[in-house]
Amino acid sequence: MQSAKNTKNAQCKRCMNKFKEKEIFTIQQFQYRRLPTYDWTREFFNLLEISEWDSFCENCMLYYGKISHAVWLRYCTVN
Ligand SMILES: [Zn+2]
């Protein structure tokens, strides 16, 4: 028998792929990123209508990590 943790009953908000619950990623993981700050990151995702409780797969989280960092670099830092 399969345990609930191993069935693919979580869904990514962006790509709509199904995946296992234990593989859920949320923007909360960006708390551990040094820059941009987590306050900035939360505001950025707020504009995209993404909250701290939305579930994403690993690929989409990597994607969001990349674009949020790129936007911050391009528009929010002084060269
Ligand atoms: Zn996804």
For residue 78, what pLDDT is reported?
A: 79
Q: Are 36 and 72 in contact (CB under 8 A)?
A: yes
Read off the tokens for 29: 């993981």
Q: For the segment 47-68, what is each residue's pLDDT rounded down to a tens digit?
A: 999 999 999 999 999 999 999 9
For residue 5, what pLDDT is reported?
A: 61
For residue 4, what pLDDT is reported?
A: 59
Between the CA of 79 and the centroid of ligand 1 the distance, in Å, is: 33
Identify the H or E element spanning 69. helix 58-75
Distance CA 61, CA 58 (A): 5
With a cut of 50, list the residues of the chain below it in pLDDT: none
Q: What is the pTM of this model?
A: 0.86
Between the CA of 22 and the centroid of ligand 1 the distance, in Å, is: 14
Residue spans of the domains in the chain: they are 34-79
Going by C-alpha positions, the residue among 22, 5, 6, 11 that lies closest to residue 56 is 11
Read off the tokens for 78: 């002084």
For residue 18, what pLDDT is reported?
A: 96
